[in-house]
Chain A
Amino acid sequence: MQQDADITVTATNGSDRRRSNPAGRSGHGDAGDPLLQVRNLEVRFGDGDPVLHQVSFDLQRGERVAIVGQSGSGKSTTIGAILRLLPGNGRISGGSILLGGKDLATASDGEMRGIRGKKIGLVPQDPMSNLNPSMKVGAQIADALAANGMRNRSAIRKRAVELLTEAGIPDAGRRYGQYPHEFSGGMRQRVLIAIALAGSPDLLIADEPTSALDVTVQRQILNHLQTLVDAHGTSLLFITHDLGLAADRTDRIIVMAEGRIVEVGTPRQILLDPQEEYTRRLVAAAPSAVAALDTDPGRVLEPAAVTATAGPEDILVVRNLVKEFALRGQRGGTVKAVNDVSFAVQRGTTTAVVGESGSGKTTVARIILGLEQATGGEALIDGRSITGSNGAQRRMLRRKVQPVFQDPYGSLDPTYSIERLIDEPLRIFKVGNRASRQQRVAQLLDAVALPRTVAQRRPNELSGGQRQRVAIARALALEPELLICDEAVSALDVLVQDQILELLADLQQRLGLTYLFITHDLAVVRQIATNVVVMKSGSVVEAGSVDKVFLAPDADYTKELLGAIPGAAFAR
């Protein structure tokens, strides 16, 4: 079966990944001696019901396997169990985890200390918080080496520099003495990879290693990780929520949901011929897969018709917008976060602003919302600027444009009830009386498909998707014409993300809303937008209809972005 998988993948996707040396894999591939054997694993927290049910899988030497699932599916719990680092009062209540014949489920804590680092390396999720900010980067790698039994200091240093170089950090000798804050996110993730590989482990566990990084950086890091893993013959267990990413990077995909393994198969089987209902839904919802698979031009042309009927009137005009921020500590020094940005949004359409972190897309949104003052140029809503007007006119403009923020956990005041959250704008604008406001809240809850009973609940009783619905309901309370969605679906699981996008599309059709969709996710753009503005380092690189930009991009940067969409290999 493993052999099959290899052959299929080779045959269908022979580009990038085959370049790396598969010797390690074919040598041990189906030797019948899996490196890791998880059998009927069951995990409980305290005395509660199990959160993992009968999880069983094998991992061959040199094999790359992905565990894909949404938050709460048990993928992190699974690796927590393998590393015996379950949080809180979690414990393994059944089954076995055999690593090279040794059962980790029953190993003592002392034995586990010898296994972590030496046999199993971990690349954690967040490169920002997983390095000690007050410790030199080199010293942190040296620490890992010393923990693995190296004693000679100069040898440790030499090896650490070697590891840094191997992880793709240029000028590693000088970088050795720098602190984490002097490294970018991608560089920090490379350092973490170097630390994970310090003990030459047989198994490398990567827990969402790039979900905090931009797509182009993500691609570099993963390419590099893959090369390293193949060169060392290390097995890789790759945890991700992104089906496209898993398909690109691994030989086999394990789909998990609610603590159970739903389906196991090669990327091709899972993406193109899913057997289980849940997998099918996951594949359908995965924006990267959809965007990649959907090459039918008819579908994307459809929204253009809506534009035509809505009329050519521009609701939002951004003209030569410039925003400079003063640099701290440098007198008179400024950085241009937004540099001469111009675009227009037609009423009733969806325009996406795409860019990586630092591209200035959020600053543009904040200026349009009147939260920042532009240094130059203007952002006009129906011909007027929020920051340029005051009193009644500003209030009127603010009613026309409302935001939906990225993090539904941060955008709702946790001390408020849902009803109070949704009617807050009504109270601020003194719309109606108590009874009419209550009625309006009920209407809005209906509009975003939430039961009316949630009105008396508080945000922390709701799931992420439900909260985002509340945030949308609140944004709609004043009957705005323009919604600024700043990464509004990025924090959500794919299935939920899909539902929210559907809701937004539905609301647009019913209420004639206009969306300005700020996102880093090109796949989402393809799904929802009519027009797209690509930004890089504060400037517009390319703008135009989604069809044009996606099918015939002009700018090199756009091409690079499009190439970095995971799962694209399964488009053709």
Chain B
Amino acid sequence: MAITEIRPAGLGSARGRIWKSLHGSPLGLAGGAMLVVVVLVAVLAPLIAPYSPSEVHFATPFQKPGTVGFLLGTDDLGRDIFSRMVYGVRASLEVGALCVLLSVVIGTPLGLLAGYWRWLDAAVSRLTDVTLAFPFLIIAVGLAAISGPSLANAAIALGIAHIPTMIRVVRGETLRIKESDFVLGAQTMDASGLRIIFTHVLPNAASAIIVQATVIMPVAVIGEALLSFLGLGIQPPTPSLGIMLSDAQQYIFRSPTAAIFPGIGIALICLAFNLFGDALRDAFDPTSSSRK
């Protein structure tokens, strides 16, 4: 809003403003709704899935979608694609959430410290440069070689890959906030550096961190699919959208739906996060807020 002097009273609180902005964005609401559905599916997987994801029906392989009993058909071993997808979404979100958690927990403090204290900045920045120089696939291969491929290792590899971007975002925000008058004011009150970082810088950087998390999440979901596809992530028979794609690849001409549905699943999860993240960023954006 450009003319904010006429802003009605009561819309002043940041939370109210963000809420209102989200309300005004139909795409963001759609993304949010999809997100709720995806999360519910993941949480309630055992209740939703009609079969166990690894339950094999040798009598009925390659069923078409819509077959009685198998909503989305079956794969080469006669496993129910719908059930496997429900559990696959769960695995994707688990890896995504772990990866985001890792990058936030490690990236945020490092970014705050590097942004606030110049002498730490060089060290942390070199560290992020080194990490960025490693393709995350190499890290994943290395981890898989050391302790075997698993969901946790996939999440760690993806997490390490995303820590540098989180550090950079938080560092940038810190550099900006550090220059504001309210931080100067706190310094003149003899507030310690750590106190300023945690009581002033962090709350003001929170929106950027949240937005960055919604950016990392879909990338991590795709990364998990990729690693599982390559056999570096989740191991069969545990279902994962990536493994389903990899399994379906051999029979892609005989039964394309076995590959199409997991593909759509990945796309929808990413779309949901991206739409919601975009709306969130607009809502937090200081230029669209009522500053003056």
Taking Cβ atoms with an 8 Å cutoff, the residues of A that contact B are 45, 48, 51, 71-72, 77, 87-88, 90, 369-371, 394-395, 398, 401-403, 405-407, 409-415, 424-425, 428-429, 457-458, 460-461, 471, 474, 478
CB pair B6 A48 closer than 8 Å:
yes
- The answer to the question of B118 belonging to the interface, with a C-beta cut-off of 8 Å to chain A, is no
- The answer to the question of B57 belonging to the interface, with a C-beta cut-off of 8 Å to chain A, is no
CB pair A402 B13 closer than 8 Å:
no
CB pair B182 A461 closer than 8 Å:
no
A460 in complex: contacting residue of B1, B187, B200, B291, CB < 8 Å: B291
A224 CA / B184 CA spacing, docked (Å): 39
CB pair B184 A413 closer than 8 Å:
no
Taking Cβ atoms with an 8 Å cutoff, the residues of B that contact A are 1-3, 5-6, 9, 12-14, 180-182, 184-191, 195, 200, 203-204, 206, 289-292
A228 CA / B191 CA spacing, docked (Å): 54
Knowing that A403-B185, A403-B188, A428-B189 are A-B contacts, what are 5 other residue pairs whose CB atoms are under 8 Å apart, sorted by A's residue number?
A88-B2, A371-B188, A411-B184, A424-B186, A460-B291
With A394-B190, A429-B189 known as contacts, the answer to whether A460 contacts B184 (CB < 8 A) is no
Closest residue of chain B to A477, judged by CB? B189
CB pair A88 B182 closer than 8 Å:
no
A446 CA / B5 CA spacing, docked (Å): 25
A407 CA / B185 CA spacing, docked (Å): 12
CB pair B14 A415 closer than 8 Å:
yes
Q: Which 4 A-B pairs have the closest CB atoms?
A: A461-B12, A87-B2, A72-B5, A411-B181
A-B contact pairs, 6 of them (CB 8 A): A71-B292, A90-B2, A409-B291, A410-B181, A415-B203, A458-B12
CB pair B190 A398 closer than 8 Å:
yes
CB pair B181 A405 closer than 8 Å:
yes
Collect the chain B residues with CB atoms within 8 Å of residue A370's CB: 187-188
Closest residue of chain B to A404, judged by CB? B185
A171 CA / B184 CA spacing, docked (Å): 42
Instruction: Report the minimum CB–CB distance from A8 to chain B (whole Å).
Output: 34
A77 in complex: contacting residue of B3, B12, B182, B195, CB < 8 Å: B3
A77 CA / B2 CA spacing, docked (Å): 10
Give chain B's interface secondary structure class: loop
Closest residue of chain A to B5, judged by CB? A72
B6 in complex: contacting residue of A51, A394, A458, CB < 8 Å: A51
Give chain A's interface secondary structure class: loop
CB pair B13 A413 closer than 8 Å:
no
Collect the chain B residues with CB atoms within 8 Å of residue A471's CB: 185
CB pair B6 A414 closer than 8 Å:
no
CB pair A405 B184 closer than 8 Å:
yes
CB pair A369 B188 closer than 8 Å:
yes
Collect the chain A residues with CB atoms within 8 Å of residue B291's CB: 409, 460
CB pair B185 A405 closer than 8 Å:
yes
CB pair A461 B189 closer than 8 Å:
no
CB pair B14 A371 closer than 8 Å:
no
Closest residue of chain A to B10, judged by CB? A461
CB pair B189 A414 closer than 8 Å:
no
A401 CA / B184 CA spacing, docked (Å): 13
Closest residue of chain B to A411, judged by CB? B181
Collect the chain A residues with CB atoms within 8 Å of residue B289's CB: 460
CB pair A424 B14 closer than 8 Å:
no
Collect the chain B residues with CB atoms within 8 Å of residue A88's CB: 1-3
Instruction: Report the minimum CB–CB distance from A99 to chain B (whole Å).
Output: 24
CB pair B5 A398 closer than 8 Å:
no
A413 CA / B178 CA spacing, docked (Å): 11
A371 CA / B9 CA spacing, docked (Å): 37
Collect the chain B residues with CB atoms within 8 Å of residue A71's CB: 5, 292
A395 in complex: contacting residue of B9, B12, B190, B292, CB < 8 Å: B190
CB pair B12 A413 closer than 8 Å:
no
Collect the chain B residues with CB atoms within 8 Å of residue A406's CB: 181
A72 CA / B206 CA spacing, docked (Å): 31
Closest residue of chain B to A401, judged by CB? B188
CB pair B12 A428 closer than 8 Å:
no
CB pair A461 B13 closer than 8 Å:
yes
CB pair B189 A478 closer than 8 Å:
yes
Collect the chain A residues with CB atoms within 8 Å of residue B3's CB: 45, 51, 77, 87-88, 90
Closest residue of chain B to A396, judged by CB? B190
With A45-B6, A88-B1, A403-B188 known as contacts, the answer to whether A457 contacts B182 (CB < 8 A) is no
A87 CA / B188 CA spacing, docked (Å): 39
CB pair B185 A458 closer than 8 Å:
no
Collect the chain A residues with CB atoms within 8 Å of residue B189's CB: 398, 402, 424-425, 428-429, 478
Instruction: Report the minimum CB–CB distance from B221 to chain A (whole Å).
Output: 31
With A51-B6, A428-B195 known as contacts, the answer to whether A398 contacts B188 (CB < 8 A) is yes
B9 in complex: contacting residue of A72, A405, A461, CB < 8 Å: A461
Closest residue of chain A to B11, judged by CB? A461
A425 CA / B187 CA spacing, docked (Å): 10
A51 CA / B5 CA spacing, docked (Å): 10
A458 CA / B289 CA spacing, docked (Å): 14
CB pair B12 A414 closer than 8 Å:
no
A415 CA / B204 CA spacing, docked (Å): 7
Closest residue of chain A to B189, judged by CB? A425
Instruction: Report the minimum CB–CB distance from B205 to chain A (whole Å).
Output: 10
Instruction: Report the minimum CB–CB distance from B185 to chain A (whole Å).
Output: 6
CB pair A460 B191 closer than 8 Å:
no
Closest residue of chain A to B2, judged by CB? A87
Collect the chain A residues with CB atoms within 8 Å of residue B181's CB: 405-407, 410-411
Collect the chain B residues with CB atoms within 8 Å of residue A429's CB: 189-190
Collect the chain A residues with CB atoms within 8 Å of residue B292's CB: 71, 409
A90 CA / B191 CA spacing, docked (Å): 45
Instruction: Report the minimum CB–CB distance from B116 to chain A (whole Å).
Output: 15
Collect the chain A residues with CB atoms within 8 Å of residue B6's CB: 45, 48, 51, 72
A325 CA / B218 CA spacing, docked (Å): 46
Instruction: Report the minimum CB–CB distance from B21 to chain A (whole Å).
Output: 14
Instruction: Report the minimum CB–CB distance from B222 to chain A (whole Å).
Output: 33
Instruction: Report the minimum CB–CB distance from B9 to chain A (whole Å).
Output: 7
The residue among B1, B9, B185, B204 with the most chain A CB atoms within 10 A of its own CB is B185
Collect the chain B residues with CB atoms within 8 Å of residue A478's CB: 189
A71 CA / B200 CA spacing, docked (Å): 29
Collect the chain B residues with CB atoms within 8 Å of residue A428's CB: 186, 189-191, 195
Closest residue of chain A to B17, judged by CB? A460
CB pair B13 A458 closer than 8 Å:
yes
Collect the chain B residues with CB atoms within 8 Å of residue A460's CB: 12, 14, 289-291
Instruction: Report the minimum CB–CB distance from B179 to chain A (whole Å).
Output: 9
Instruction: Report the minimum CB–CB distance from A239 to chain B (whole Å).
Output: 15
CB pair B187 A371 closer than 8 Å:
yes
A457 CA / B10 CA spacing, docked (Å): 10
A3 CA / B164 CA spacing, docked (Å): 70
Collect the chain B residues with CB atoms within 8 Å of residue A415's CB: 14, 203-204, 206
Collect the chain B residues with CB atoms within 8 Å of residue A405's CB: 181, 184-185
A370 CA / B188 CA spacing, docked (Å): 7
Closest residue of chain B to A397, judged by CB? B190
The residue among B5, B180, B182 with the most chain A CB atoms within 10 A of its own CB is B182
CB pair A410 B182 closer than 8 Å:
yes
